[in-house]
Amino acid sequence: MNKQTTEAYTLLKPKQAVPLVMDSPHSSPVFPNDFNAALPLDDLRDGEDVFIDALWSHAPEHGAHLLLAEFARTYIDPNRHVGDVDLAMIEGEWPHAYEPSGKAQIGKSLIWRTLDDGRPIYNRKLSVDEVHQRIQRYALPYQAQLQNLINEHHQQFGVCYHINCHSMSAVSGKMGEGGAGIARADVVLGDRDGTTCSAEFTHLVKDFMQQCSYDVKINDPFKGVELVRAFSNPAQGKHSLQIELNKRLYTDDSGRGKGPGYDKLNQDLIALTALLADFSTHKI
Ligand SMILES: [Zn+2]
């Protein structure tokens, strides 16, 4: 396995590639020095998809490339269009691209305004320059590398399957998708209502995870956001699917340590990756 590390990401490459790319945009606990948030860093880790990098770390052994973000999600979220800026957070006029997704309403646009529990992350406005820097140094390089991987595999193999890896809280918080206090399924698959990958790919993952005794929902409440949308084109053979794993499956009560279910989930994900690798090379 070969490793490439930059300020924005680590890319783990297999010895022999299959057309399977995985990425984990939210699992880093690294907070760049110029964050200047009003909350303690430990609280800011609430936005982290803890252990998702580790749970998928076997992927290169099965021929998949694995891309991991090296900056915290609450610093800047690469799973947003870089124009999805919350204008209310910015000092003065925003002169760059503006593509609102509606996520600013729940405080979760490109740069988060609040944590899931509603606490504001900053006690100040952000300057245009610092937001632009975060985009140029972190979000864009991450997105560009993912796009590059998908394009290269597609060129080489005529097809590329991409899994966008996440985790979610067991129950939605005050600023959660769909409102507070809603218990989530074990696994939520997001293909943006069938637009980012073939139904066959979504159902392959759904059926496998159900066989492993997880309850699985599709696009409810998470449909997938920018990273499954931006580079996919199922008609051309570029398939992207988001997998959200419920933190209650594998963390302890603190949400930061491994829980009793970690090993089972890890083994199931190894078997799923082997299945996806075979599927991507038409062996099944
Ligand atoms: Zn995530």
pLDDT for 45 equals 94
Residue 283 C-alpha to ligand 1 middle, in angstroms?
Answer: 30
Distance CA 16, CA 192 (A): 31
Tokens 């599709």 belong to residue: 218
Q: How far is the CA of 48 from the centre of ligand 1 (A)?
A: 7
- In angstroms, what is the span from residue 121 Cα to ligand 1's centroid? 18
Q: Residue 182: is its pLDDT beyond 70?
A: yes
CA of 33 to the centre of ligand 1 (A): 22
What span, in angstroms and rounded, lies between the C-alpha atoms of 171 and 251? Answer: 14
- Tens-place pLDDT, residues 29-50: 999 999 999 999 999 998 999 9
Q: Which residues contact 171 (CB under 8 A, 6 or more apart)?
A: 181, 182, 183, 184
Instruction: Look at residues 280, 236, 197 and name the one whose alpha carbon lies nearest to residue 20.
Output: 280
Cα 279 to ligand 1 centroid, rounded to whole Å:
25
The model's pTM: 0.97
Instruction: Give, in words, the CATH class of 2-79+141-280.
Output: alpha beta
Confidence bin at 164 (pLDDT 50/70/90) = very high
Annotate 51-117 with DSSP letters as a single string.
Answer: THHHHTTTGGGGT-EEEEE-S-TTT--TTS-TT---GGGBSS---S-----SGGGGT-SSS-SB-TT
Torsion of the alpha carbons at 140, 141, 146 and 147, rounded to the nearest 10: 60
What number is the average pLDDT over the span 160-177? 89
Q: How far is CA 178 from CA 171, 172, 195, 221, in A?
A: 11, 8, 21, 7
The Cα 277–Cα 55 span in angstroms is 16
Distance 52 CA to ligand 1 centre (A): 9
Q: Does residue 153 surpass a pLDDT of 90?
A: yes
Task: Give the pLDDT band (50/70/90) at residue 284.
Answer: low
Q: Which residues surround ligand 1, an ion (CB under 5 A)?
A: 26, 49, 166
Separation of alpha carbons 273 and 268, rounded Å = 9
| Average pLDDT score over residue span 185-196 | 98
Q: How far does residue 109's CA lie from ligand 1's centre (Å)?
A: 13
State the average pLDDT for the chain: 96
pLDDT exceeds 90 at position 261: yes
Q: Residue 165 Cα, ligand 1 centroid: separation in angstroms?
A: 7
Name which of 204, 170, 227, 222 is nearest 283 in CA terms: 204
**Position 171 confidence tier, pLDDT thresholds 50, 70, 90:** confident
Angle between helices 262-280 and 199-211 (to 10 degrees): 150
| Per-residue pLDDT reduced to its tens digit, 69-126 | 999 999 999 999 999 999 999 999 999 999 999 999 999 999 999 998 899 999 999 9
Q: What angle do CA 144, 145, 149 make, to 5 degrees?
A: 120
Rounded Cα distance between 268 and 279, Å, is 16
